[in-house]
Homo-oligomer: A and B are copies of this chain.
């Protein structure tokens, strides 16, 4: 039994952000057929400290065995459960450009339980075209579609100018989370969860780090 869970300690953000990484490494180890691993060994693979690994896990329970380590399968299942990967998540994509298409076509997302039920765009050139096994719909029909077929997640992959308007429609239509690829800090209404991917920010960070390094040489 977990000491932490009944004490209701809130899980630090930094820990939450590492959970997918744990999942990724454990999945890899599972594929490799590894049966057990110590915090020491796993942390070396992940380039973190074994203290951090054990501390992180302790927020969710006790998954190892003293003197032995962790069973890879068990820990993998535990992390999957913590992340909620046993569930299915329904989503629509707004913006049928390359990013939207990439998300539909990347098999990793559906494997993780993301089910995309519709893709929308406002460009007549895109509307009606095929993306995977979906047909791009006119964004004019987004609200109607969601009324008929509600989803949990809205994926915003429009140009920045359209993003906020689209986000409001999604929120009004009852999505509980938004996965946002537009370079904008979305205004929320209600208690929707917004998870941002800012590609441009990442690129600029890379630029900075390149120059930083240069300075040193």
Q: Which residues of A contact B (CB under 8 A)?
A: 16-17, 19-21, 23-24, 46-47, 82-85, 87, 89, 97-99, 101-103, 105-106, 108-109, 112-114, 152-153, 176-177, 179, 183, 185, 191, 193, 195, 197-211, 213
Sample (20) of A-B pairs whose CB atoms are under 8 Å apart: A16-B208, A24-B198, A24-B200, A46-B185, A82-B208, A84-B210, A85-B204, A87-B207, A98-B99, A103-B199, A109-B200, A112-B203, A113-B207, A152-B210, A153-B210, A176-B213, A179-B206, A191-B213, A195-B202, A197-B202
Copies in the complex: 2
A109 and B85 alpha carbons, distance in the complex (Å): 34
Q: Cβ of A20 and Cβ of B213 under 8 Å apart? A: no
Q: How far is the CB of A67 from chain B (nearest CB, A)?
A: 29
Q: How far is the CB of A5 from chain B (nearest CB, A)?
A: 11
Q: Which of B16, B105, B197, B205 contacts A16 (CB 8 A)?
A: B205
Q: How far is the CB of A143 from chain B (nearest CB, A)?
A: 21
Q: Cβ of A185 and Cβ of B152 under 8 Å apart? A: no
Q: Cβ of B102 and Cβ of A20 under 8 Å apart? A: no
Q: Cβ of A114 and Cβ of B203 under 8 Å apart? A: yes
Question: Lowest 8 A-B CB distances belong to which pairs?
Answer: A98-B102, A20-B201, A20-B204, A195-B206, A84-B211, A98-B101, A193-B209, A98-B98
Residues of B within 8 A of A206 (CB): 153, 177, 179, 193, 195
Residues of B within 8 A of A98 (CB): 98-99, 101-102, 105-106
